[in-house]
């Protein structure tokens, strides 16, 4: 079976990155691990034990998630790459199983698995749809919480639906764990760095589908995501979310939808 390179972008994640890294080391299909540090001010990078598969890169300032993923990707020689959040703990068979999914379906380019909270519950963004104006309004006004009773209220997130027992196609997955074909990542020129944080994953999924490839979700595999570890030390997170939302609609949706989103962002401030 083909091998995988794991790319982790770090920014002040503290102790949790050690657990994430050690879990990656146990996966037999990992050829190399690239950790890109965005000018962290803690000792998180020192917690990574030396391994022949590990390469560390230290950036002099915080260039953002998308930029540092692209930076790490230029050193990848494997057929597959896994973008993994530094607070996401995978299991020993995770990467092997997901690679098998892509090996079995040549029309698929991205795959992920079930993303759980530390308490074992499904994380809200584990199953998603690409944003439209109506879906975005339902999500950001939190009306989508009613979707578990009335499906018409569903927004971007689909965690109200019964979980399937087999690998199937979805529009979008969680950005915490993205395993994809290296050739496709290079074909679509990687992440759009105009998204500093948030929505860069949804933009990647949209462009993947626009190129004719499928995105898969394997619910039989699950990982634990300690969400927001890096974001806790970044006071600009909410600002980035608003900017990312506007950028996505400007790039992929109608002019009218973009203008409405800008108005909604101003109201939400």
**Tens of pLDDT along 179-231?**
999 999 999 999 999 987 789 999 999 999 999 999 999 999 999 999 866 55
pLDDT at 116 over 70: yes
**Tens of pLDDT along 119-146?**
999 998 999 999 999 998 898 888 998 9
What is residue 231's predicted lDDT score, i.e. its pLDDT?
A: 53
Whether residue 73 lies inside any domain: the answer is yes
- What range does the domain containing 11 cover? 4-122+163-234
pLDDT at 158 over 70: yes
Q: Which long-range contacts (CB under 8 A, 24 or more apart) does 73-78 make?
A: 73/7, 73/182, 73/185, 73/186, 73/190, 75/34, 76/5, 76/7, 76/32, 76/34, 76/182, 77/5, 77/31, 77/32, 78/2, 78/3, 78/4, 78/5, 78/31, 78/32, 78/182
Whether residue 42 lies inside any domain: the answer is yes
What is residue 269's predicted lDDT score, i.e. its pLDDT?
A: 63
Whether residue 53 lies inside any domain: the answer is yes
What is residue 237's predicted lDDT score, i.e. its pLDDT?
A: 79
Whether residue 114 lies inside any domain: the answer is yes
Whether residue 257 lies inside any domain: the answer is no
Mean of the per-residue pLDDT values for the chain? 93
Whether residue 259 lies inside any domain: the answer is no
Whether residue 194 lies inside any domain: the answer is yes
Least confident of 111-115, 118-122, 241-245: 241-245
What is residue 267's predicted lDDT score, i.e. its pLDDT?
A: 80
Whether residue 84 lies inside any domain: the answer is yes
> Given pLDDT bands bounded at 50, 70 and 90, which one contains residue 233?
low
Encoding tokens for residue 253?
């949706």
CATH number of the structural domain spanning residue 32: 3.90.550.10
**Total domains, the chain:** 1
């Amino acid at each position: 079976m083909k091998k995988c390179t794991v790319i982790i972008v770090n920014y002040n994640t503290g102790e949790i990155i050690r657990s994430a890294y050690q879990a990656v080391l146990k996966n037999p299909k990992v050829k190399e691990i690239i950790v890109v540090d965005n000018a962290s001010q803690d000792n998180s990078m020192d917690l990574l034990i030396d391994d022949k598969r590990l390469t560390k890169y230290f950036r002099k300032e915080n260039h953002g998630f998308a930029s540092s993923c692209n930076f790490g990707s230029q050193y990848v020689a494997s057929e597959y790459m896994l973008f993994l959040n530094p607070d996401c703990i995978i299991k020993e068979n995770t990467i092997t199983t997901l690679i098998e999914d892509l090996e079995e379906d040549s029309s698929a380019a991205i795959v992920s698995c079930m993303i759980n909270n530390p308490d074992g519950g499904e994380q809200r963004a584990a199953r998603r749809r690409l944003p439209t104006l109506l879906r975005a309004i339902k999500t950001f006004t939190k009306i989508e919480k009613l979707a578990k009773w009335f499906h018409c209220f569903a927004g971007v997130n689909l965690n109200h639906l019964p979980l399937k027992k087999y690998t199937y196609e979805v529009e979008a997955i969680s950005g915490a764990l993205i395993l994809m074909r290296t050739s496709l990542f290079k074909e679509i020129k990687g992440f759009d760095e105009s998204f500093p944080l948030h929505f860069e994953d949804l933009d990647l999924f949209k462009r993947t589908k626009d190129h004719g490839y499928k995105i898969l979700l394997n619910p039989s595999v699950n990982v634990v995501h300690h969400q927001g570890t890096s974001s806790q030390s970044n006071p600009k997170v909410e600002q980035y979310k608003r900017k990312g939302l506007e950028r996505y609609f400007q790039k992929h949706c109608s002019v009218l939808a973009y203008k409405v989103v800008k108005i909604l962002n101003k109201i939400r401030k």
